[in-house]
Structure 1
C-alpha cells in the first residue's frame, strides 16, 4: 500500500529561524505580566484595586497579545513557502488490463461467475479512465494473447473484454511479459495517429487480475524483473474466495485464490496488491486503482493562504484591543 504524503510541507525551512524571536517575545510577555502582577499587589491594597480597575474578564487582556504572536508565527511560515499535496489528473498514461481466463475463472463462488464479474468490472474501470490514456487488453491462460493494442480508443478495449474466453493453464508471467511488450512497442513510436508527440516518456501501469497460481510459462521472478527494467508497476487483484470450486471432466476441483504470489509480484514492481471476494469488492478495487493511476500528486504553493491568515489574525488583535482597551496592541 502507498504511504500518504504529509498534508503540509515547507519549501524553504531556513526561514523557520524567524520563529525564534517570536518565541522570545512570548517569553518576554509572560515575564512582563508576572512583574506587573507583583508590582500591583505590592503598591496597592486589594480594596483599592477593586475600585480602580474595571471589572472585566482577566483573559481579555491576553487575547490581543496571543493573536499578535500567532500573526508573527503565520508570517514566519509564509516566508518558508508552505505547500500542500494536490491530486492533479494525468493527461497521458498507458494502462494494460491483463485478465486471467484459466478454467478456474468459471467458478461460481462469485455471482454469476468469476470471469463474467471480472469482465464487467474491468469494462467499468476502462470507462472511468481519462480520455487521453492509452488502454490495452491482454488475456492469459496457458499462453497470453493481445485482444486490444493500447490506444486512446477505449471502446476498442471495452469490446475486447467481451471476447475473453476460457482456456487451460495459468501463465501469469507470460501475461505480464506480453503486456510489457505492448508498452515497449508503444514507447518506440514517435507520433500517434492524432499527431501527438510520443517521444516524451509517459507513465505505464499493468492491472492484472487472476485467481490462481502461475503454472506454466515464464516465472513471476522473470516477469517482475522485466517490469522493473521498464519501470512499469503491476497492480494485482486476487479475485475469488478460498472455497471456489470448478467441475472438470465430472470432477470437482478446488480453486482457491493464491493471493500471496500476486501480492509478491505487486510488491516487487512497486504496484499495489488487492484482494476481492465479491463483485462489489472488485468494483471498489478498480475504483482505487483508477484513482491512483489517473492522478498524480503535485505540490501546490499556499503562501498566499498563510499571509491571508496572518492578516486576519493581526486585524483581530487590533480589533479586540480597540474594542476592549481603546488602544492598539
Structure 2
C-alpha cells in the first residue's frame, strides 16, 4: 500500500498524544479516588463502578481518529479489475469417451457441473462462450454476458451434439478463436483480451492439427488453458478402455502460454477451473482506497456512541 499524501500521517502523532493524555488523566483520577478512605461509604454512594467499560468508548473514539487520519493521507493499493471486452471461450469434449464412468456419474456430467460453477464465478461483465466438440466443433453459445443463455448451453452438452465420433481438439481451438474475433465490430482488427479453456480426455483424432490452431492463438495473443479429465482406468459402456491422454493438451498450453491441468476427479476439475478463473481477464490498477478507512472509522464512531449510550446514558 502507498500513500498519496504521506505527510498527513504525522497527524497520528496528535492521536497518540490524545491517547497518552487520556492515560494520564485516568491515573490522576485513580489517585484522587484512593484519597477517599471511607470505602464502606464509597460503596454505598457508588456501589456499581463501570470499571473497564468506561474505557471502551474512548478506545473506539481514538481508533476512529486513527482510521480517519489514514484515510486523509489518501492510501492507494493495487487492485485487480476486469478488463473491458474480456472474453472467455470454454470448449468441452462431448465425444463418446466422455461417457466413461471413472468419474461419477460420468466424465461429461462432471464436466457440465464444473462448467456451471466456473461460469458462475466469473465477473458478470465478462463475455463467455461455449464450444462443444467431438468429431467436429459446434458453437453452442457465442461469447455473451447473458449467464442464463450460457447456462442453457452448458445443459445442452451431450454425447453426439458436435458431430460423429472422434476428438477434434484443433477444430475446437479454431472455432473458439473465430468466435473471439467475431465478438464485436472491432474484434477483427482489435482482438479483445481473451482466453480459451479446452477440456478433453483424449488426443486429437480428427480435423486440423492442434499445433496449427495453437500457432494461430499465439499470433492473436490468446493463451489456451487446457484440462485433461479422467483416469488411466476409464472404460466406455461397452468395456472399451479409454485412458486419459493429456499430451496434446499440454503441448497446446505450452505453445500458447496457457496453463495445463490434469484432473482425475470432480474436485480436481473444480480446482483447475478455479485456477483458470483467477488468471483471466483482469489487470492491476492502483486505486484510491481511502473509503475503506473512512468507512471503518465511521463504524467505530457508531460503536463508541452506542457503548456510551448503553452504559452511561450519554454520548461520548
Task: Give me the TM-score of the superposition, normalised by structure 1.
Answer: 0.59
**Hey, what does 2:129 align to over in structure 1?**
135
1:211 partnered with 2:201: yes
Distance 1:263 1:245, change over 3 A: same
Partner Cα distance (2:119, 2:95) in 1? 25
Q: How far has the Cα of 1:209 moved from its partner?
A: 0.7
Q: 1:78 to 1:119 in 2, by over 3 A?
A: closer
Residues in 2 aligned to 1:209 and 1:45: alpha-carbon distance in whole angstroms:
81
Tell me which of 40, 56, 66 is aligned to 1:63.
Answer: 56
What CA deviation, in whole Å up to 9, does each residue of 1:237-259 have, x standing for no partner?
332234213599xx954503549
In 2, Cα distance between equivalents of 1:306 and 1:293 = 30
CA contact (8 A) 1:68 1:317 kept: no
Paired position in structure 1 for 2:244: 256
TM-superposed CA distance for 1:208, in Å, is 0.9
Matches within 5 A, 1:162-177: 163-165=161-163, 167-168=165-166, 172=169, 174-175=170-171, 177=173
What's 2:265 paired with? 277
Q: Does 1:20 align with 2:13?
A: yes
Indicate the RMSD between aligned Cα atoms, in angstroms.
5.6
1:182-236 residue CA offsets vs partner (Å, 9 max, x unmatched): 156336x636xxxxx987764323121111357894459x93x765664434443
Which residue matches 2:26?
Answer: 33
Under a length normalisation based on structure 2, what TM-score does the superposition of the two structures give?
0.61
> 1:77 touches 1:306 (CA, 8 Å); kept in 2?
no
CA distance in 1, matches of 2:312, 2:30: 23
Does structure 2 conserve the Cα–Cα contact (< 8 Å) formed by 1:234 and 1:271?
yes
Paired with 1:260 and 1:40, the residues of 2 have a C-alpha distance of: 83
Question: Cα 1:212–1:59, aligned 2, differ >3 Å: closer, same or farther?
Answer: same
d(CA) in 2 for partners of 1:234, 1:215: 19
Query: Aligned partners of 2:157 and 2:237: how far apart in 1?
Result: 27
Unaligned runs of 5+ in 1: 1-8, 192-196
Count of paired positions? 298
Distance 1:175 1:106, change over 3 A: same
